[in-house]
Amino acid sequence: MGLAASIGLTIVHSAVFPLRNRRPSTLLGEGQVEMAAEAIEENQIGVVVVDAALTPVQQRNLERQWHCKVIDRTGLILEIFGERARTKEGTLQVELAHLEYQRTRLVRSWTHLERQRGGFGFLGGPGESQIEIDRRLIGERIVKLKRELEQVRRTRGLHRAARTRVPFPVVALVGYTNAGKSTLFNALTGAGVYAQDQLFATLDPTMRAIRLPSGRTVILSDTVGFISDLPTQLIEAFRATLEEVAAADIILHVRDVAHPDTTAQRNDVVGVLSEMAKGEHPTLDENWPARTIEVLNKADLLGGIAEVPGLDDAASVAVSALTGEGLDALRSALDARLAAGMEIADYALPPSDGARIAWLYQHGEVLTREDGEEVVRLTVRLSPADRARFEQG
């Protein structure tokens, strides 16, 4: 129901039908189909959403018996994705997923387009059926989209390589859809990213630089929300978006701690991330849990941070992105997690070498400084990569 409401559908009737057996023709039993048909006619329903995966034949048969549009869970998610995507990458990903889905929906229901003539004039024999033409055109478009998306991934790879040359740690926000990631992103960065109380408000990755209490700069990345039972073709289509998670130094797992299914949502997100770390070509390293901080968001709905359960865990921080409560503690937690992997080094530089001194302030945390007439002594906390880069330069 949350998925349907998030795209603006008005829910006038809902029903739960237990399935003893899945009928190949309609999924539901005959009596259940008739009960639903009565409710559809009584409420003058124009769209029926089935919270399950429908085969093309099942979808067609239900539409014939119910005399209205029928979409399944995958179709509904694709509709939401199509409405929300804004950037070139997002629209490419949505179109690819939609075509992969639509290719399986081409069933023989168009008798008036059963055959077209092929060739020129009287020389041509029976040509392709309309379904075959559509399937071929969709296949060609899919191939083109995959090429374009691969170019997008290469471009994003170049951007990541550029960030490693001027390295700032990357912090990726992940979490179940509607957990408040974009609201938290805006609260930390002051950005105007689209944030609403609806599912899949964010489909395009957004990145901003923020300063932590230590003075260290990090890049914060907002990503698409996870959801249970996400269709396989959608995971593949949105792989480029999730690559930002794989490249992150810290993963902030944002949870809606006030949601009644918060534990189940957490398990869904952890499950997807775990799958990204498996297989022949994993996109996430196995040590990702050690880089993760759980952000227990929407504490204001529970009465404040003091009322949030599970804060005994040192890897958790409670916040309210809406009111700002707990954000300072989150920034400090980010600083502490980054500092844990840092090295402390001492340098003695001439006062005239202002560029290198400024570089240390920009890329590290200056712990102590002593200014002398001939030398400036600095004790700095740096990442191993930054330390090596500074000492080689």
What whole-number distance in Å separates Cα of residue 32 and Cα of residue 200?
31
Look up residue 276 and give its amino acid. M
Question: What is the band of 280 on the pLDDT scale with cuts at 50, 70, 90?
Answer: low
Does this model's pTM top 0.85?
no
336 with 347, same domain: the answer is: no
CA distances from 318 to 193, 258, 327, 337, 391 (A): 22, 11, 9, 16, 39
The pLDDT value recorded for residue 110 is 41
Q: What count of other Cβ atoms lies within 10 Å of the Cβ of residue 236?
A: 14
In a domain, 347, yes or no: yes
The pLDDT value recorded for residue 342 is 82
The pLDDT value recorded for residue 204 is 45
365 with 241, same domain: the answer is: no
What whole-number distance in Å separates Cα of residue 214 and Cα of residue 360?
13
* HSE of 135, CA atoms in CB hemisphere, 13 A: 10
208 with 266, same domain: the answer is: yes
Question: What is the band of 79 on the pLDDT scale with cuts at 50, 70, 90?
Answer: confident
Residue 325 has what DSSP assignment? T
Number of domains in the chain: 2
Residue ending a domain, choose from 298, 321, 340: 340
In a domain, 130, yes or no: no
In a domain, 272, yes or no: yes
Is the predicted pLDDT of residue 118 greater than 80, yes or no? no
* HSE of 133, CA atoms in CB hemisphere, 13 A: 12
For residues 137-157, average pLDDT = 82
In a domain, 282, yes or no: yes
Q: What count of other Cβ atoms lies within 10 Å of the Cβ of residue 309?
A: 11
Give me the percent of the chain exceeding a pLDDT of 70.
75
In a domain, 180, yes or no: yes
Average pLDDT over the chain, rounded to an integer: 78
Side-by-side strand order, sheet with 217-222: 206-211, 217-222, 170-175, 250-256, 292-297, 316-318
- CA torsion angle 292 294 295 301 (round to 10): 160
Pick the residue with more confidence: 199 or 34?
34
Instruction: Give the annotated binding-site residues for Mg(2+).
Output: 182, 202
Boundaries of domain holding 188? 167-340
Q: Show the tokens assigned to 250.
A: 């810290």
325 with 377, same domain: the answer is: no
347 with 333, same domain: the answer is: no
In a domain, 375, yes or no: yes
The pLDDT value recorded for residue 6 is 61
235 with 258, same domain: the answer is: yes
Residue 55 has what DSSP assignment? P
Question: What is the band of 197 on the pLDDT scale with cuts at 50, 70, 90?
Answer: very low
User: Out of 23-32, 33-42, 216-225, 331-340, which region has the weakest mean confidence (pLDDT)?
Assistant: 216-225
Is the predicted pLDDT of residue 116 greater than 50, yes or no? no
299 with 347, same domain: the answer is: no
182 with 281, same domain: the answer is: yes
Instruction: Give the annotated binding-site residues for GTP.
Output: 175-182, 200-204, 222-225, 297-300, 320-322
Q: Show the tokens assigned to 126.
A: 């029976």
182 with 193, same domain: the answer is: yes
In a domain, 200, yes or no: yes
The pLDDT value recorded for residue 108 is 43
What whole-number distance in Å separates Cα of residue 36 and Cα of residue 94?
31
Contacts of 387 (CB under 8 A, 6+ apart): 343, 345
SS (H, E, C) 213-265: CCCCEEEEEECCCECCCCCHHHHHHCHHHHHHHHCCCEEEEEEECCCCCHHHH
Residue ending a domain, choose from 340, 365, 381: 340
Which CATH number characterizes residue 314's domain?
3.40.50.300
What whole-number distance in Å separates Cα of residue 120 and Cα of residue 274?
56
Give me the percent of the chain exceeding a pLDDT of 90.
20
Pick the residue with more confidence: 90 or 287?
287
239 with 383, same domain: the answer is: no
181 with 244, same domain: the answer is: yes
Question: What is the band of 125 on the pLDDT scale with cuts at 50, 70, 90?
Answer: very low
319 with 365, same domain: the answer is: no
In a domain, 355, yes or no: yes
Instruction: Give the annotated binding-site residues.
Output: 175-182, 200-204, 222-225, 297-300, 320-322
